[in-house]
Amino acid sequence: MNALLTGLADRLDDALLKHKAVPQITIEHPTLSLADAYAIQSLLVHRRLQRGERRMGMKMGLTSRAKMQQVGVNEMSWGRLTNAMLLEEGGLVARDAYIHPRLEPELAFLIGKPLSGIVTAAQALAAVDGVAPAMELIDSRYRDFKFTLNDVVADNSSSAGLVIGSWCSAEQDLTNLGVVLEVNGRVIDTASTAAILGNPVRSLVAAARLAGEAGETLHPGDIIMSGGITAAHTISPGETVRATLQNLGFVSISVT
């Protein structure tokens, strides 16, 4: 079993390195469990850490209806972030460095105190040092961006990159902030932070619980991504994509 899981982790990591999509692993291995999928994710992130990358936090996935509907998976997933995924705010991202990249607006949390296990929203917020407008770059390693829950979990929940805006105080109401997603100055989607589980802090509560279940802790300095607030936008060269979150500011990146 371990050799099988390691082989699948290597296959997904190679797909990432070569920017070449692979078939869904659940087609060849339909009996893989969700626990197996998270084991594959852990092995593939371990490979990245062995290449010199450093852990940087956690991303929540499929925490909004818009995202669930877009990919046809109705359960939350999570993934691991590394410093190599960080993209410069206002900077450039190369379309060709990925397979079929998409950008999505998110809310980022900066952890100030260790957090793990079952916590209340108030306890989760007390562990937060700041919040920022953010975008996640996702890039499924599967053909046609098609996957089941177990596939996407094994693929580190499609993690590819993240752009973080300026950190703001977390001591404000985050429950219903307007969100605008623009491409080259044209509004392509609008939403509210309430789209994230009714309140984005619930995504952080879930992150703490899931980290705890995996025997992990969210550490001071970690970034936690809330999950996409709107459907993700497939990017093309020449586009500047900007996400604005009410009261928090904006974050943007240009595609070459």
Q: Which residues bind ligand OOG (CB under 6 A)?
A: 59, 61-62, 67, 71, 104, 136, 138, 140, 152, 157-158, 227-228
DSSP 62: S
Question: Closer to Mg ion at the Cβ: 32 or 103?
Answer: 103
Q: Compute the least distance from the CB of residue 3 to ligand OOG, in Å.
A: 27
- What CA–CA distance (Å, rounded) separates 64 from 196? 5
Residue of 25, 57, 99, 136 that binds Mg ion (CB under 5 A): 136
Q: Compute the least distance from the CB of residue 1 to Mg ion, in Å.
A: 30
Give DSSP secondary structure letters for 88-129.
-TT-EE-GGGSSS-EEEEEEEEEE-S-B-SS--HHHHHHTEE
Q: With CB cut-offs between 5 and 8 Å by kind, which of ligand OOG, Mg ion, none does residue 155 bind?
A: none
Question: Closer to ligand OOG at the Cβ: 4 or 27?
Answer: 27
Give the 3-state secondary structure percentages of the chain, helix then strand then coil, rounded to 5.
35, 30, 35
Residues in a beta bridge with 60: 78
| Binding span for Mg ion by CB under 5 A among 10-18, 123-131, 185-193, 224-232 | 224-232
Decide if residue 105 touches Mg ion (CB under 5 A): no
Q: Compute the least distance from the CB of residue 238 to ligand OOG, in Å.
A: 23
Phi and psi angles of residue 154, each rounded to the nearest 5 degrees, phi first = -60, -35
| Binding span for Mg ion by CB under 5 A among 7-15, 43-51, 134-142, 198-206 | 134-142
The tokens describing 220, both together, are: 């001071």
Question: Closer to ligand OOG at the Cβ: 82 or 140?
Answer: 140
Residues in a beta bridge with 87: 163
Question: Closer to Mg ion at the Cβ: 10 or 89?
Answer: 89
The tokens describing 55, both together, are: 């852990």
Distances (CA, A) of 57 to 201, 215, 250: 16, 14, 21
Q: With CB cut-offs between 5 and 8 Å by kind, which of ligand OOG, Mg ion, none does residue 71 bind?
A: ligand OOG
Helix axes 2-18, 34-50, angle to 10 degrees: 60
Q: Compute the least distance from the CB of residue 81 to Mg ion, in Å.
A: 11
Q: With CB cut-offs between 5 and 8 Å by kind, which of ligand OOG, Mg ion, none does residue 67 bind?
A: ligand OOG
Residue of 41, 228, 231, 244 that binds Mg ion (CB under 5 A): 228
- What CA–CA distance (Å, rounded) separates 122 from 14? 41
Question: Closer to ligand OOG at the Cβ: 126 or 242?
Answer: 242
Size of the site for Mg ion (CB under 5 A): 2
Phi and psi angles of residue 209, each rounded to the nearest 5 degrees, phi first = -65, -45
Question: Closer to ligand OOG at the Cβ: 114 or 200?
Answer: 200
Distance of CA 32 to the CA centre of its chain: 23
Phi and psi angles of residue 82, each rounded to the nearest 5 degrees, phi first = -125, 160
Decide if residue 139 touches Mg ion (CB under 5 A): no
Point out which residues bind Mg ion (CB under 5 A). 136, 228
